[in-house]
Amino acid sequence: MNFFDIILFPFRWIVSAVLWVFHELFTLIGMDPASGVTWVLSIVGLTLVMRTLTIPLFLKQIKSMRGMQELQPEMAKLQAKYKGKKDQLSRQAMAEEQMALYKEHGSNPFAACLPIIVQMPIFFALFQVLRSVPQAAQGNESIHVLAPQLVHQFNASTIFGAPLFSTLMQPGNGNHAATIILAVVMIVAMSATQFITQKQLTARNMSDSAKESPMYRQQQMMLYMFPLIFAIGGINFPLGVLVYWTVSNLWSMGQQWWVIRNNPTKGSQAERELNERRAAKGLPPVGMSKKEHEEKVEEQRQRAAAGQRAQPVSKKRQKQQSKKNYG
Amino acid sequence: MTSRVTPEQLLARAPHEYNLSGGFLGVLRGIPQNLCIALLKLYRTIVSPLYGDVCRYFPSCSAYALEAVTVHGAVRGLGLSVKRLLRCHPWAAGGIDRVPAGGREFTSAASTPKVVLLNHPNLVHQYTHDCPARHAAQGANAR
């Protein structure tokens, strides 16, 4: 065992235990213990447990991203201050001021990746357990909590005739067509979900000022890189691992959708949409109490009544405002 | 007193970081220091651009190390650099973290090596604005 394996040992143990618990549970409610469906559902259960456990980390990540977004106005000021100054010294001076700003707000762009790092051992452990099944079955070994007999069963189980541990490149001795179709479908599904998740984040949940930063361009590149990595890596992953990854990506997409819908970033497209939905229900915009909102509307109305020329408003907003004022 | 120079000109004219003072013996004693400087500069030309800006601190770890070795010499400079690298981990809050003052001092803009100028961008602005009274104080503030 090397250093990496020693660190991962407790995580691997937990992963195998969760798999075992789900398998026992499904057997208990009358499912065939040797069936591929039972094992696939156990993997799905494992994925759901792992993703639920990492929700706090996800929230922390969101918070840190919000922190970055909150200092966006000050950042924009800084960018304006150094606008057009391309020489090395000015850029250094700007980097220095940026660092001071991050420190002051207690958020660092390089700290945003911490939750991802913390999740790493869990995912590595999961991969190691799933990928070690064929080898352990061959050597008649146990995988932590899973007894050799269970490992054999797991390894031999098939779904639609495709062995759970066959890969697109090595379809094994089961139904080759089924393996290939299942692998391709899942690879496409996980690449697509990854793409949609990223796209949602950048297109709808970034403030307009954040979209002008170099960080945005970097994220745009990731948008196309990740699905590609999945597609390339996917051809070498056993179906069982693909099931895990597809379900996990679907979960990410749902999680993201929920957060963007109900708790959008300030100044983003998603916030405008949320405020429109709230207005339709007669609620004030986010971050404003009903009283504050009414006072603001009242003030606007009085100013208009006082004979001051009203600001030109688009037809769409005119309709909304009249709805708010008189509806 | 140099007449008005732009920061760009100052940077372009900045001397190298190598320590070649003290005659033949001085150069001999400076071998470890200059070797470290050369390696760090090589790292900063070849490896640093591959990463982009990733350090949690200002100046970045490699800029810090280069300045530390330039100003403090090989032994203390490397010691400071190692301490800094240990401070730069995913849980660190980051911020501004400068090299403490050391044995080599630079009294004028023209004699300040490039890395020190880059690590103290505001110093340059003070240098480039003609203000003799301030210059005297800068020897002390320089680092």
CA distance B8 to chain A (A): 7
| Dihedral of the alpha carbons of A238, A132, A19, A25, in degrees to the nearest 10 | 80
HEC profile of chain A = CCHHHHHHHHHHHHHHHHHHHHHHHHHHCCCCCCCHHHHHHHHHHHHHHHHHHCHHHHHHHHHHHHHHHHCHHHHHHHHHHCCCCCCHHHHHHHHHHHHHHHHHHCCCHHHCCHHHHHHHHHHHHHHHHHHHHHHHHHCCCCECCECHHHHHHHHHCEECCEECCCCCCCCCCCCHHHHHHHHHHHHHHHHHHHHHHHHHHHHHCCECCHHHCHHHHHHHHHHHHHHHHHHHHHCCCCHHHHHHHHHHHHHHHHHHHHHHHHCCCCCEHHHHHHHHHHHHCCCCCCCCCHHHHHHHHHHHHHHHHCCCCCCCCCHHHHHHHHHHHHC
Tens-digit pLDDT profile for residues A93-120: 888 888 888 888 777 666 555 656 666 7
A55 in contact with B, Cβ within 8 Å: no
pLDDT at B24: 84
Work out the pLDDT band at A325, boundaries 50, 70, 90: low
pLDDT number for residue A95: 86
Say yes or no for a CB contact (<8 Å) between B96 and A88. Answer: no
Q: Does B12 touch chain A (CB under 8 A)?
A: no
B4 pLDDT above the threshold of 70: no
pLDDT in tens, B25-50: 888 888 899 999 999 999 998 887 77
Amino acid identity of residue A236, one-letter, is N
CA A83 – CA A61 distance, rounded (Å): 30
ipTM of the complex: 0.76
Q: What burial letters (b/e) apply to A270-284, b meaning 16+ CB within 10 Å?
A: bbeebbeeebeeeeb
Both structure tokens of B19:
């320590």
Q: Which residues of A touch B8 (CB under 8 A)?
A: 87-89
Q: A214 touching B, CB under 8 A?
A: no
Residue A88 near chain B (CB below 8 Å): yes
Burial of A47: CB neighbours in 10 Å, binned 0-12, 13-18, 19+: buried
DSSP string, B52-84: -S--SEES-HHHHHHHHHHHH-HHHHHHHHHHH
Q: Which two tokens stand for residue A158?
A: 């098939």
Condensed to tens digits (0 to 9), the pLDDT of residues A171-220 reads: 777 788 888 899 999 999 988 888 888 787 777 777 666 666 666 666 67
Number of H helices, E strands in chain A: 13, 2
- High-pLDDT (> 70) share of chain B, %: 81
Least confident segment among A265-279, B14-28, B124-138: B124-138
Query: pLDDT tens-digit profile of A251-262?
Result: 888 888 888 888
Q: Out of B93, B119, B125, whose CB is closest to A106?
A: B93
Number of helical H runs and strand E runs in chain B: 9, 2
Tokens representing A44 are 């799905």
The whole-model pTM stands at 0.62
Count the Cβ atoms, other than its own, within 10 Å of residue A288: 15
From the list B91, B88, B89, B125, the residue with the least C-alpha distance to B109 is B125
B90:A114 CB<8 A? yes
As a whole number of angstroms, the distance between CA A87 and CA A201 comes to 33
As a whole number, mean pLDDT of residues A73-88 equals 83
